[in-house]
Amino acid sequence: MKSIRFLRREVLWVSLVGGAVATLTFALPAPSTLNDFFGPGTQPNTLTDPILTAQACSFCHGNYDETHEPFRPWAASMMGQAARDPLFHACLAIANQDAPGSGDLCIRCHTPGGWLAGRSTPTDGSALTGADFEGVTCNFCHRMVDPDYTVGVDPAVDFDILDNLEDQPVNPHSGHYVVDPLDRRRGPFDLGKEFFYHDWLQSPFTQDSAMCATCHDVSNPVYERQPDGTYAPGAWDTPAASFDKYDQFPVERTYSEWLMSDFADGPIDMTGRFGGNNPLVSSCQDCHMPDATGRGCAFEDRPVRDDLPQHHFNGGNTWVLRAIRNLYPDSETFLTEESVNASIARAVQMLENASDMDLTSDGSTLSVRITNESGHKLPTGYPEGRRMWLNVQFYDATDALIAERGHYDAATADLTTGDTKVYEAELGITPDVAAAIGAPAGPGFHFAINNTVVKDNRIPPRGFTNTNFEAVQAAPVGATYADGQHWDDTDFAIPAGAARAEVRLFYQTASKEYIEFLRDENTTNDAGIVLYNQWVATGKSAPVEMDFETIVFGSSCPPDFNNDTMLDFFDVQLFLQAFATQDPSGDYNNDTLYNFFDVQAFLQDFATGCP
């Protein structure tokens, strides 16, 4: 087999004697070209048979069982609408503004049919047309070839397909896919010698998590990993020195997170948490395409299977499908109100099943534990604008709300972050690269030119070890998790007078800050304002409640600071400590001020005694 070409790139930002860093003087956009984002695998305009439209597949695989057929559930997923997603188009515009050519990295996964047909240039998506907007289609996925060929497992023809590639993928990521040049459709089942509807090959790849890795591990090839673990750009207008994803800057590592979890060594009995006929969970498909009972096509002579993969592709997005229905006619998207509602309901259910919450209290402190029950970090995926947070509401004995942490204003989409835990990953630009390309240093949403992870406190999956996650560029940043820890604890001071608390874990696909960035930074087209208008029209990416628990505290007597049911010197001591340090519980009258009136109110209640 041909060896992979490693085209050398010389690093432009190099450490000099004494720790100085050499910089250049150009400003945005970065001096990148399409060559900088080259990826190995099947290349555009090389297929003998073009990728078929999904509508062509629907004649046999659709419109007979809305729950278990492949077509309509696929259409109502973000896979089916990946190329119509207005957030994708807004992000694509900014990426191309920042780094010309970078849009190719996005297009090859959001519309592989369009990319393979040579319509990814120009890389702003303006050449895409017609069926390109069907996103990740049936014919594309079922023609994918396992780049890690295994004799006796993969179809024999796949060896020849790989051998004829000029550049073979090193490991699955960033749309480095291999596609059969001929329309030979692969699946996990033996269809039998009598099957004549289309050419087919049996292949286990469609049930392998490595297939998902093709687009759910994403790296920026512009940046090369340095010996000290930092990332610096290589020579411009040149393909990457290494196509190994772990030699490039990590944009997302969902597959690698799974690979280093216990699920990869599974299966694990999840007692049906993620649905389907099989309670055992290991692969991505076990959760996102759980097995059901049904037929894979419309013909009644085909067998009914109990291990039929559902093509729901459940995820966490609960608003973009409605935006797409506003922007495109149902005749193009194959969406209906019913199918969209059903898809959103499945997404909500998946989010609810992804975590568990436990509450404990020692009298003065409320402890909230969130346990990650998914097979990757929580949350995972493309990091920009995606977050979870804890909302805590404290009530007194009369059920009056006396304090709140992590308040979200549904009208303005503003989240109060300073008094709660927000789980998220933030990428950014190091000062040396920022100075060189005329961009602001620090955290930001410029994903095409970001070269450092500023924060990543997302909860790891079971089986987490620091060594393994560091090896796949997914180590926590700004947070500490012990080996084996797949949960996180957050403590909240219980304010005076609190009799109980309600605690919620929320998830949001796109924050207000991210949406406004995509609107305000766009100088290219109207994709940013189109996105913003749809974000407003569909509820501003309304948060989804993943978990809810309530806890009753031991004492409902406000001056009983240690909740031991007695008023004594220790309560006075604890109050004065809280008051002096401006702890929230020291704001006794809950007016956000720490002054004489707090002390007066406490002493009056202390003298009156508990009811």
- Specify if 475 maps to a domain: yes
- Specify if 4 maps to a domain: no
- Specify if 239 maps to a domain: yes
Packing angle, helices 596-608 and 569-580, rounded to 10: 170
Give the residue from 522, 552, 582 where a domain finishes.
552
Q: Strand 425-429: give its sheet, edge to edge.
A: 442-443, 425-429, 452-456
Together in a domain, 546 and 575:
no
Q: Is the pLDDT of residue 9 over 60?
A: no
Total domains present in the chain: 3
In this predicted structure, what is the pLDDT of residue 307? 95
Chain mean position to CA 385: 10
Note the pLDDT tens digit of each residue in 345-360. 999 999 999 999 999 9
Pairwise pLDDT comparison (502 vs 9), residue with the higher score: 502
- Side chain identity at residue 587, one-letter code: D
Residue 346: CA atoms inside 13 Å, Cβ hemisphere, count?
Answer: 26
- Specify if 303 maps to a domain: no
Together in a domain, 495 and 599:
no
Whether residue 436 contacts residue 24, with contact meaning beta carbons closer than 8 Å, is answered with yes
Report residue 24's pLDDT band, with 50, 70 and 90 as the boundaries: very low
Distance of alpha carbon 433 from alpha carbon 24, whole angstroms: 9
In this predicted structure, what is the pLDDT of residue 555? 63
- Side chain identity at residue 392, one-letter code: V
Distance of alpha carbon 266 from alpha carbon 255, whole angstroms: 15
Structure tokens at 172: 């699955």
- Specify if 287 maps to a domain: no
Together in a domain, 66 and 200:
yes
Together in a domain, 229 and 157:
yes
Q: Is the pLDDT of residue 16 over 70?
A: no
Together in a domain, 240 and 365:
no
- Specify if 443 maps to a domain: no
Together in a domain, 410 and 345:
no
Distance of alpha carbon 175 from alpha carbon 39, whole angstroms: 8
Give the residue from 552, 577, 594 where a domain finishes.
552
Note the pLDDT tens digit of each residue in 400-414. 999 999 999 999 999
Distance of alpha carbon 61 from alpha carbon 58, whole angstroms: 5
What is the radius of gyration, based on Cα positions, of the chain? 27
Together in a domain, 119 and 174:
yes
Distance of alpha carbon 411 from alpha carbon 557, whole angstroms: 35
Note the pLDDT tens digit of each residue in 542-566. 999 999 999 999 766 788 887 777 8
DSSP class of 29: S
- The average pLDDT across 359-384 equals 96
Q: Is the pLDDT of residue 25 over 80?
A: no
- Specify if 40 maps to a domain: yes
Together in a domain, 332 and 481:
no
Give the residue from 349, 367, 401 where a domain finishes.
349
Work out the percent of the chain whose per-residue pLDDT is above 90.
85
Residue 399: CA atoms inside 13 Å, Cβ hemisphere, count?
Answer: 1
- The average pLDDT across 339-343 equals 97
Q: Is the pLDDT of residue 20 over 60?
A: no
Does residue 73 sit in helix, strand or coil? helix
- Specify if 300 maps to a domain: no
Together in a domain, 365 and 263:
no
In this predicted structure, what is the pLDDT of residue 561? 81
Structure tokens at 579: 């008051």
Distance of alpha carbon 82 from alpha carbon 317, whole angstroms: 12
Structure tokens at 113: 């049919």
Q: Is the pLDDT of residue 14 over 90?
A: no
Report residue 611's pLDDT band, with 50, 70 and 90 as the boundaries: low
Residue 169: CA atoms inside 13 Å, Cβ hemisphere, count?
Answer: 25
Report residue 439's pLDDT band, with 50, 70 and 90 as the boundaries: confident
Token pair 């608003």 in the structure block, residue? 319
Distance of alpha carbon 83 from alpha carbon 429, whole angstroms: 28
In this predicted structure, what is the pLDDT of residue 397? 85
In this predicted structure, what is the pLDDT of residue 583? 85
Task: Note the helical H segments in 271-401.
Answer: 284-288, 320-327, 330-333, 337-353
- Least confident range from 144-153, 474-483, 517-526, 550-559: namely 550-559
Taken as a whole, the chain contains a residue count of 611
- Side chain identity at residue 500, one-letter code: R
Together in a domain, 265 and 374:
no
In this predicted structure, what is the pLDDT of residue 27? 72
Together in a domain, 67 and 114:
yes
Q: Is the pLDDT of residue 464 over 80?
A: yes
DSSP class of 519: H
Together in a domain, 579 and 465:
no
In this predicted structure, what is the pLDDT of residue 556? 62
Q: Is the pLDDT of residue 17 over 80?
A: no
Residue 9: CA atoms inside 13 Å, Cβ hemisphere, count?
Answer: 28
- Side chain identity at residue 369, one-letter code: R
- The average pLDDT across 274-281 equals 94
Distance of alpha carbon 420 from alpha carbon 347, whole angstroms: 25
Q: Is the pLDDT of residue 28 over 50?
A: yes
| Other C-beta atoms lying within 10 Å of the C-beta of residue 410 | 10
In this predicted structure, what is the pLDDT of residue 265? 96
On average, the pLDDT of the chain sits at 93
Note the pLDDT tens digit of each residue in 39-84. 999 999 999 999 999 999 999 999 999 889 999 999 999 999 999 9
Report residue 247's pLDDT band, with 50, 70 and 90 as the boundaries: very high
Domain holding 577, by residue range, is 569-608
- The average pLDDT across 1-10 equals 31
